[in-house]
Structure 1
Amino acid sequence: MSFSLSIAAIRNKPLQEREMIVLMASLMSLQAFGIDAMLPALGQMASDMGADGNSRQYVIGAYFLGGGIGAFFPGAFADRFGRRPVLALALVSYFVLSLACSLATNYTLLLAFRLVQGVLCAGLSVVPAAIVRDQVGGDKMARLMSLIMMIFLVVPILAPAIGQGIMYLLGWRAIFGAMAFVSLFVSVWAWVRLPETLQDDNRQDIRAGTILRNMREALWARESIGYVVGAALVFGSLFGFLNSSQQLISETFGSGDYFALIFGGAVVGMVVANFTNSRIVERFGARRVSHAALLAFIIISIAQLVSASLQPQSLAEFIVLMSLSMATLGFVGANFSSIAMQPFYHIAGAASSAQTAVRMSTGAVLGAVIGGSYDGTAVPLAVSMLACSLAALAIVLFSERGHLFRRLNIGKRLP
Structure 2
Amino acid sequence: MDSNAPRSSSAPSLINWPPQGEFVSLVAILMAMNALSIDIVLPALGLIGESLDQSDGNAIQLIITIYIFSFGCGQLVLGPVSDRFGRRPLLLIALGLFAVANGLAASASDFSHLLAARCAQGLTAAALRVSALAIVRDRYQGRQMAKTMSLVMMVFMAVPLMAPLLGQILIGLGPWPLIFEASAVLSGFVFLWVALRLPESLPPARRRRISLSTLIDGYRLIISHRSAWGYMLASGFVFGVLFSFITASNQILLEVYEIGNKFPLAFAGVASGLAVSNFFNSRLVEAYGMRALSHTALILFLGVNCLHAVLAFVGYQPFWLFTVMTALPFVMLGFLGPNFTALALDPLGKVAGLATSVQGFISTGIAGLFGGWVAHLYNGTPEPYAYGVAILSAGAVAMVTWTERGQLRAFRLVKEPPTPPESPSA
Give the TM interval when normalised to the shorter protein: over 0.9
- Listed as ranges, the matches of 1:232-243 within 5 Å are 232-243=236-247
Match of 2:289 among 285, 306, 312: 285
Once the two structures are superposed, the pairs formed by residues 12-411 of structure 1 within 5 Å of their partners are: 14-51=17-54, 52-405=56-409, 408-411=419-422
Which residue identity lines up with residue 421 of structure 2 in the other structure?
A: I
Q: Deviations over 1:283-306 (max 9, x none)?
A: 000111001111111111022112
3-state SS of 1:343 partner: helix
**Contact map agreement 1:219 1:355 (CA 8 A) in 2:** no
Cα gap change, 1:250 to 1:409, in 2 (>3 Å):
farther
> Secondary structure at 2:327's aligned position in 1?
helix
Q: Is the 8 A contact 1:342 1:412 kept in 2?
A: no
The separation in 2 between residues aligned to 1:289 and 1:137, in whole angstroms, is 17
How far is 1:193 from its partner?
A: 0.2
Distance 1:121 1:212 in 2: 25
Tell me the alpha carbon deviations over residues 176-235 of structure 1, each in whole angstroms, 9 at most, x when there is no partner.
001101111111101100000013332101112102321332233111111101110121
CA distance in 2, matches of 1:408, 1:299: 29
The answer on whether the counterparts of 1:137 and 1:411 sit within 8 Å (CA) in structure 2 is no
Distance 1:377 1:120 in 2: 35
Show structure 2 runs of 5+ residues with no match: 1-14, 413-417
Q: What's the secondary structure of 1:121's corresponding residue?
A: helix
1:72-131 CA-to-partner distances (Å, cap 9, x unmatched) read 022111111110011112111110000110000000110011112212321111111110
Query: What CA distance in whole angstroms lies between the structure 2 residues aligned with 1:222 and 1:78?
Result: 24
CA contact (8 A) 2:17 2:23 kept: no
Residues 220-263 of structure 1: per-residue CA shift (max 9 Å, x gap):
31111111011101211221111110111001111022000110
CA contact (8 A) 2:87 2:201 kept: yes
Distance 1:409 1:299 in 2: 32
Q: Structure 2 counterpart of 1:125, which letter?
A: R
CA drift at 1:154: 0.2
Q: CA RMSD in A?
A: 1.6
Q: Secondary structure at the match of 1:88?
A: helix
SS of the equivalent of 2:76 reads: coil
CA shift for structure 1 position 14: 4.2
Residue type of the alignment partner of 1:292: T
**C-alpha distance in 2 between matches for 1:186 and 1:368:** 30
What is the rounded CA distance, in whole Å, between the counterparts of 1:403 and 1:115 in structure 2?
41
- Partners of 2:322 and 2:86 in 1: how far apart? 45
Tell me which residue corresponds to 1:6.
Answer: none
CA contact (8 A) 1:137 1:412 kept: no
Q: Which amino acid aligns with 1:28?
A: M
1:375 is paired with a residue whose SS is coil
Over 3 Å counting, the alpha-carbon distance change for 1:219 and 1:16 in structure 2 is farther
Alpha carbons 2:80, 2:353 under 8 Å: kept = yes
Closer, same or farther: CA 199–411 of 1 in aligned 2, 3 Å: farther
> Amino acid of the residue matched to residue 42 of structure 1?
L
CA distance in 2, matches of 1:344, 1:209: 18
1:119-155 Cα offsets, whole Å, 9 max, x none, are 2321111111110111110111000000000000000
Instruction: Give the Å deviation of 1:411.
Output: 4.3
Q: TM-score, normalized by length of structure 2?
A: 0.91
Q: Which amino acid aligns with 2:34?
A: Q
Q: Deviations over 1:9-42 (max 9, x none)?
A: xxx9641222111100011111111000000111
What TM-score comes out, normalization by structure 1 length? 0.94
Moved over 2 A (4+): 306-312, 406-409
One-letter identity of the residue aligned with 1:26: I
- Partner SS state of residue 222, structure 2: helix
CA contact (8 A) 2:58 2:376 kept: yes
Q: Which amino acid aligns with 1:410?
A: P
Instruction: Provide the C-alpha distance between the structure 1 equivalents of 2:17 and 2:378, rounded to a whole number of angstroms.
Output: 50
AA of the residue aligned to 2:105 = C
Q: Is the 8 A contact 1:266 1:322 kept in 2?
A: yes
